Chains A and B, each alone.
Chain A
Amino acid sequence: MKAWRAIEGFFVKRYRLFLFDLYNGRLIRWYRQKKNNALLNAPRRDEKCDAQIAKCVARIKLLKQKLGRAEDEQLSEGAVLRLDGLCMYFGGVKAVDGLSFEIGQGEIFGLIGPNGAGKTTVFNCITQFYEPTRGSILYRNGADVQNLTDLKVHNVIPLGISRTFQNVETIWELTVLENVMIGAHANFMTGLFAHMFHLPALKREERAIRAKALKVLEYMDISAYAGFYAYGLPYGVLKKIEIARALMCDPQFLILDEPAAGMNEAETKELARMIKRIRDDYRCTVFLVEHDMGLVMDVCERICAISFGKMLAIGTPKEIQGNKAVVEAYLGSSDE
C-alpha cells in the first residue's frame, strides 16, 4: 500500500510538473504575442493577451502550491531581480556558492571579482544556460514575479532579459542588419508554414522588425554597416552589434558581459556614456561584469564584489574601493 502511494505520488507529481511547464510555456507565448502586438500597433489584440496572461499566472500559482513550492516568492518594493542563496557546483568545484543580493529597478549594477570568481557563471545561471544547483532567481516582470529557474534558455528573452557575451558571439554568415534582427526572433509569431510560403502575415512582421532593427542600428551609430557581413568587421563594431541585438527585444534587464574588453581608453569612455544613455532611453536595469575598474567605478551605482563564488562586499563604488576584503582579494594580503 505504501509503495502504491509512492508510485501514485510520483506520477501525480510528474503530471503536475508537466502542467507547470505547459502553463509556463503558454505564459511565455502570450508575453511574446503582446510584444509583437506592440510592434505591429495592434492594441486590440492586447486585451486578449492580458486576459490569457492573468489566467496562466493564476494557474501557475495554483500548481506551485500543489507542488509544495509555495515559497515566499516576494521581491521587495523597487527591486527587479533577486538571487537567493544561488549555488552552482561543477562536480567538486563551487563556482558560485550561496550568493544572494538584490538589484533595484533602473539601476546600473556591477559585478566584479578576480579571474575565476564566478561572475560569468552568475550570468549563465540567470539566463538559464546553467541550471543552478540550489537557490532561486526571482525576477519581476510587470505585475508578477517569476522564478527564472523554472524557464528554459530560449524562454528567458521574452521576459525582457537579454544579454551580450564575453567573447563576441555575432553570426558571421549574416549581415549586420540580419544579426540585429535575430534579437527580435522571439517576437515572431508566424509559424513554419508562413515562413515556407512567405504569407502576408510574415511579410508584415518582417517589415516591422526590419524597420525597428534599422532604428536600433541608428541609435547605436552603426547604421553605415547595415549591409555588411559581420565577418571581418572591427572589434568595436562587433561589440556594438551585440548590444544592438540585445536592445532589439526592448529589454527591461540588460546583462553585459565584459563590454569594455579589448577597447582602448577613448572607446571605454564612449561606452560608459552609451550604457548610461541606454539605461535612460530604454528605462531598463543594467547588470554588468567588467574588469576595467575605471568603467565600473564610473557607471555603476552599486557594485557587488565576489571571490571564489562568495560575496565579499556590496555597496556604492566608494564603499567598495575602501573595503579591505576586496583589496585583499585583488592584491593579496599584506601580512606576509
Chain B
Amino acid sequence: MSVLLKKFKMQPGQSPAPAPKKATPIGKFFRHPYSHFMIFGVLLVLVQVLAMTGVLSAALARSVGVSLIYSIASLGFCLLLGYSGLASLGTAGFMGLGGYMFAYLLAHTPLPFFICVAVSVAALILIGALVGFISLRIEGIYLAIVTLGLSEILVSFFKAFDSFTGGASGVNLKAKDLVFMFGAFELSREVSFFIITAALVGLMIVTANLINSPTGRAMLAMKNSTSAAQAMGISKVKIRLLAFVLATCYAGIAGILYAVYIRSMNPSVWSLSLSLNILAAIILGGARSIWGTLVGAFLVFGINTMFLQDIAFFRDNPNFIMIFIGILIILIVMLYPGGLAQLAKTAWHKIKAWIRKKLAAAKDKKAGAGEGGAE
C-alpha cells in the first residue's frame, strides 16, 4: 500500500531518488578515478615478480617490458593524433633522440641518473616546441610528410655523428654507468621494469587528468573546429605547441626507458616502420582511449614475442603476424572507426542492456505472480 502511495505522489518524469549507498573503503577505492591505473600497475609488478621467482619466463617479462615502453610513446601519440588531430610520423626519431641524448649524458658526464633524464626531457621539450611551429602552418597528411622527413633527417644524423651516437653500430651502455640513487641500486633488468611500470602508470594518470580537464576539451575543440575554438578564446599556437611538446616528451621518455632497459641502440631501430607501428597501435586500439592505446600497443609490439612464438605455425612463418595485424587493422577501421575501445564499449552496452532486459522480465514475472496470488 505504502509503495502505491509513493508511486502516486511522484511527479511524471521524476525518478525516485536512489538510496544513498554506504561508502565502504573498497568501494571508495574502486570509484576513485586512478584506481584502475593503480591495479594495472600492481599487475605489471606482479608479472615481473612472478618472472623473478620463475613461474613466468624471463622472455615473457622482457616482451611485456618492451611493449610497455612503446605504450608510453603511443600514449603521447594518442594525445597528438586522437585529441589534437595532428598526424605525425616523427615519433621514432624523437624516441631515438631522447635515448641517445640520455645515453651520451650518462656515459660521458658525471651527472646522476635523474639529472640525465631531466636534461634530456628538457631538451626534447624545446625540440618539440620547435617542431610544433610547423604544425601551425600545415595540417593533415602534409604535416605527416614533413615530420616523416624530420625523422629521416634525425636517423641520418644518428648514423653520421659517431661521437654522439656511435654511428651505425650504435651505443652500448655499460653496467657501471647504469646505477641509480648514487650507486645504491644497479639498474638491472628487473629494477628497470619497475621504473618503466611506474613511469607508464604515472603518465597514464597525467594523460587521463589532462583529457578530463579544460586543456583536453580545448584540444578536441581545436581538432573539430578551429574557428569555433578560437572564437571561444582558445589559442591555436598554445594548443598545437602543447600537443607537440607532450607527444615529443612522451616519445623521449620512451626512448630513455628503451636505453635503460635494452641497453643498446642502433639507428635501424628508429626507422619509419616504428613510427608506422605506433600509428597502427593507435588506430587499432582507438585514438581517443588510454586503455585502447595500451591494448593496441600490446597487440602490435608484444603479442608476437609474448604468445605466438610458442605456436609452431607462427614460429615457422614469422611474417604471418604482419598479415594478421594488417587484416585486423582493415577490419577495425571499416567496422569500428573508434578502434577496439569502441568495440569494447559497444559490447559492454549490449551486455548491460541484455542483463537489464532479463532482470526486468524476471521482475515482471514475479510481480505478475504476486498479483495473481492476491486475487
Cross-interface CB contact of B228 among A171, A188, A196, A197, cutoff 8 Å = A171
- For the complex, is A127 an interface residue (Cβ under 8 Å from B)? yes
Q: Given A192-B242, A196-B209, A196-B210, decide whether A174 and B230 contact each other with a Cβ distance below 8 A.
A: no
> Which 7 A-B pairs give the minimum distances between C-beta atoms?
A186-B233, A169-B228, A195-B213, A157-B233, A169-B225, A171-B224, A153-B230
Most A CB within 10 A of own CB, among B210, B212, B221, B236: B221
User: Cα distance A202–B231 when bound, in Å?
Assistant: 23
CB-defined contacts of A2 to chain B, threshold 8 Å? none
The stretch that binds B, out of A3-11, A158-166, A286-294, is: A158-166
- For the complex, is B229 an interface residue (Cβ under 8 Å from A)? yes
CB-defined contacts of B234 to chain A, threshold 8 Å? 154, 182, 185
Cross-interface CB contact of B233 among A155, A172, A202, cutoff 8 Å = A155
CB atoms of A185 and B228 under 8 A apart: no
CB nearest to A169 among chain B residues: B228
User: Cα distance A163–B228 when bound, in Å?
Assistant: 9
CB atoms of A182 and B218 under 8 A apart: yes
User: Cα distance A174–B231 when bound, in Å?
Assistant: 17
CB nearest to B207 among chain A residues: A196
Most A CB within 10 A of own CB, among B206, B218, B231: B231
User: Cα distance A154–B212 when bound, in Å?
Assistant: 22
CB-defined contacts of A170 to chain B, threshold 8 Å? 224-225, 228
- For the complex, is A198 an interface residue (Cβ under 8 Å from B)? yes
Q: Given A169-B225, A173-B288, A196-B206, decide whether A185 and B213 contact each other with a Cβ distance below 8 A.
A: no
Most A CB within 10 A of own CB, among B209, B224, B227, B236: B224
CB atoms of B217 and A181 under 8 A apart: yes
- For the complex, is A245 an interface residue (Cβ under 8 Å from B)? yes
- For the complex, is A206 an interface residue (Cβ under 8 Å from B)? yes
CB-defined contacts of A165 to chain B, threshold 8 Å? 227-228, 231
CB-defined contacts of A178 to chain B, threshold 8 Å? 217
- For the complex, is A183 an interface residue (Cβ under 8 Å from B)? yes
Q: Report how many residues on chain A are interfacial, defined by Cβ distance under 8 Å.
A: 35
CB-defined contacts of B218 to chain A, threshold 8 Å? 182, 185
User: Cα distance A202–B235 when bound, in Å?
Assistant: 19
CB atoms of A245 and B232 under 8 A apart: yes
Q: Given A182-B229, A196-B209, decide whether A154 and B224 contact each other with a Cβ distance below 8 A.
A: no
- For the complex, is A219 an interface residue (Cβ under 8 Å from B)? no
B residues near A (Cβ < 8 Å) are 206, 209-210, 212-218, 220-221, 223-225, 227-236, 242, 288
Q: Given A195-B209, A195-B214, decide whether A185 and B233 contact each other with a Cβ distance below 8 A.
A: yes
Question: B36 → chain A, closest Cβ, in Å?
Answer: 16
Question: B261 → chain A, closest Cβ, in Å?
Answer: 25
CB atoms of B206 and A197 under 8 A apart: yes
Question: B13 → chain A, closest Cβ, in Å?
Answer: 10
CB-defined contacts of B235 to chain A, threshold 8 Å? 152, 154
CB atoms of A182 and B209 under 8 A apart: no
CB-defined contacts of B220 to chain A, threshold 8 Å? 171, 173-174
CB-defined contacts of B213 to chain A, threshold 8 Å? 195-196, 198, 202, 206
CB nearest to A205 among chain B residues: B214
User: Cα distance A101–B232 when bound, in Å?
Assistant: 26
The B contact surface, by secondary structure, is helix
Question: A289 → chain B, closest Cβ, in Å?
Answer: 15
CB atoms of A169 and B227 under 8 A apart: yes
User: Cα distance A190–B210 when bound, in Å?
Assistant: 13
- For the complex, is A228 an interface residue (Cβ under 8 Å from B)? no
User: Cα distance A188–B218 when bound, in Å?
Assistant: 11
User: Cα distance A154–B221 when bound, in Å?
Assistant: 13
- For the complex, is A282 an interface residue (Cβ under 8 Å from B)? no
What are 13 A-to-B residue pairs whose CB atoms are below 8 Å? Answer: A127-B231, A157-B233, A165-B228, A170-B224, A171-B221, A182-B229, A182-B232, A183-B232, A185-B234, A195-B213, A196-B206, A197-B206, A206-B214
Contact pattern, A 178-220, Cβ under 8 Å of B = 1, otherwise 0 = 1001110110101010011110001000100000000000000
CB-defined contacts of B236 to chain A, threshold 8 Å? 153-154
Question: B224 → chain A, closest Cβ, in Å?
Answer: 4
CB-defined contacts of B209 to chain A, threshold 8 Å? 195-198
CB atoms of B214 and A188 under 8 A apart: yes
Contact pattern, A 265-288, Cβ under 8 Å of B = 1, otherwise 0 = 000000000000000000000000
User: Cα distance A190–B215 when bound, in Å?
Assistant: 10
User: Cα distance A173–B223 when bound, in Å?
Assistant: 9
User: Cα distance A158–B220 when bound, in Å?
Assistant: 21
Question: A139 → chain B, closest Cβ, in Å?
Answer: 15
CB-defined contacts of A181 to chain B, threshold 8 Å? 214, 217
Most B CB within 10 A of own CB, among A156, A170, A198: A198
Question: A256 → chain B, closest Cβ, in Å?
Answer: 13
- For the complex, is A235 an interface residue (Cβ under 8 Å from B)? no
With contacts A154-B234, A195-B215 known, what are 17 further pairs, Cβ within 8 A? A127-B231, A129-B227, A129-B230, A154-B230, A157-B232, A173-B224, A174-B217, A178-B217, A182-B217, A182-B229, A185-B232, A188-B214, A195-B214, A196-B206, A196-B210, A196-B213, A198-B213
CB atoms of B233 and A158 under 8 A apart: yes
CB-defined contacts of B212 to chain A, threshold 8 Å? 198
CB nearest to A163 among chain B residues: B231
CB nearest to A28 among chain B residues: B233
Most A CB within 10 A of own CB, among B210, B212, B218, B225: B225
CB atoms of A185 and B217 under 8 A apart: yes
User: Cα distance A158–B233 when bound, in Å?
Assistant: 7
Question: B108 → chain A, closest Cβ, in Å?
Answer: 32
CB nearest to A255 among chain B residues: B231
CB nearest to A198 among chain B residues: B209
CB atoms of A185 and B225 under 8 A apart: no
CB-defined contacts of A172 to chain B, threshold 8 Å? 224
CB-defined contacts of B224 to chain A, threshold 8 Å? 170-174
CB-defined contacts of A156 to chain B, threshold 8 Å? 231, 233
User: Cα distance A302–B22 when bound, in Å?
Assistant: 61
